[in-house]
């Protein structure tokens, strides 16, 4: 896990580092992930070094371009096994993190992780994004929405932008080349109250794995008719 400490120091220009306790939390999270993966499908990546690179370092990569030094509220939509939300919470413990997923078994696992690692101001909620975006306690409540879920930008925007408050950001973790995807999602992003400010791209260290982060700023409220009902969003993208 020591390479995590070096990585965080590098991407924050030395302004932030991980304590031994935080590295121990990453260790424990890895152990819990692998153990639970024996009884339910959480990840196809199980080799320790691969998990560190493709799950932990990848989750933390956003910190190179987005200021995570402040106490902001973050929702991880479609969090799955807790990526990127859990690594972000461990590395930047002042963040107020909500993990959101449609599979209750995963939420139970994540609640156990949160309890075992003693993560404060971190919760895991069960539900579909289409329903959560209409919940008065969640809608336009967050400074930042992130997602590593596999969906195109049009669909992800309708899942995520309703959660974001005005002047907040939706920043999905996308693969290296997304210019066409962003062009196709332009109407959806604008309709939902967002504005594409920029896209930053990187390659994960000592690998050929590319990652892109489109910065979608919420500039106006999402119309009340969005998100549409479950099933419609993915079948009929905006």
- Give the pLDDT confidence score for residue 177 in this predicted structure: 82
Query: What confidence tens digit (pLDDT) does each residue in 12-52 have?
Result: 999 999 999 999 999 999 999 999 999 999 999 999 999 99
Query: What confidence tens digit (pLDDT) does each residue in 43-61 have?
Result: 999 999 999 999 999 999 9
Query: What confidence tens digit (pLDDT) does each residue in 90-148 have?
Result: 999 999 999 999 999 999 999 999 999 999 999 999 999 999 999 999 999 999 999 99
Give the span between the Cα atoms of 155 and 189, in whole angstroms.
10
3-state secondary structure at position 13: coil
Structure-block tokens of residue 217: 């700023």
Higher pLDDT, 219 or 1: 219
3-state secondary structure at position 22: helix
- Reported in sequence order, the residue ranges of 73-121 that DSSP labels E, i.e. its strands, are 73-77, 96-101
Query: What confidence tens digit (pLDDT) does each residue in 150-196 have?
Result: 789 999 999 999 999 999 999 999 987 888 999 999 999 999 999 99
- Give the pLDDT confidence score for residue 151 in this predicted structure: 86
Give the span between the Cα atoms of 101 and 119, in whole angstroms.
18
CA 213 → CA 37, 99, 113, 203, distances in Å? 28, 19, 27, 12
- Give the pLDDT confidence score for residue 224 in this predicted structure: 95
What domain range is 123 assigned to? 2-235
- Give the pLDDT confidence score for residue 234 in this predicted structure: 86
Are residues 113 and 32 in contact, defined by beta-carbon separation less than 8 angstroms?
A: yes
Rounded to 10°, the helix 2-11/20-37 angle is: 120
- Give the pLDDT confidence score for residue 212 in this predicted structure: 95
- Reported in sequence order, the residue ranges of 20-173 that DSSP labels E, i.e. its strands, are 73-77, 96-101, 122-126, 142-147, 164-172
When computed from its CA atoms, the radius of gyration of the chain, rounded to whole angstroms, is 17
What's the domain count of the chain?
Answer: 1
Task: Provide φ and ψ at 178, rounded to 5°.
Answer: -135, 15
- Give the pLDDT confidence score for residue 230 in this predicted structure: 82
- Which CATH number goes with the domain that contains 30? 3.40.50.150
- Give the pLDDT confidence score for residue 156 in this predicted structure: 95
């Amino acid at each position: 896990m020591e390479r995590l400490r070096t990585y965080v120091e590098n991407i924050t220009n030395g302004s932030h580092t991980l304590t031994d306790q935080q590295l121990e939390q990453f260790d424990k999270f890895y152990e819990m992930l692998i153990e639970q993966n024996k009884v339910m499908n959480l990840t196809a990546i199980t080799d320790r070094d691969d998990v560190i690179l493709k799950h932990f370092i990848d989750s933390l990569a956003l910190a190179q371009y987005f200021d995570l030094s402040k106490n902001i509220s973050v929702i991880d939509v479609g969090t799955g096994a807790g990526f990127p939300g859990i690594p972000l919470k461990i590395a930047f413990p002042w963040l107020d993190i909500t993990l959101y997923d449609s599979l209750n078994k995963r939420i139970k696992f994540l609640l156990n992780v949160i309890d075992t690692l003693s993560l404060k101001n971190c919760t895991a909620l069960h539900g579909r994004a289409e329903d959560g975006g209409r919940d008065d306690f969640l809608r336009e409540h967050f400074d930042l929405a992130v997602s590593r879920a596999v969906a195109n930008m049009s669909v992800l925007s309708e899942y995520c932008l309703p959660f974001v408050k005005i002047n907040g950001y939706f920043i999905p973790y996308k693969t290296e080349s997304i210019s066409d995807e962003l062009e196709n999602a332009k109407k959806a992003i604008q309709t939902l109250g967002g504005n594409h400010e920029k896209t930053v791209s990187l390659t994960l260290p000592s690998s050929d794995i590319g990652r892109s982060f489109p910065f979608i700023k919420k500039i106006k409220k999402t119309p009340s008719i969005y998100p549409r009902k479950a099933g419609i969003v993915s079948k009929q993208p905006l």
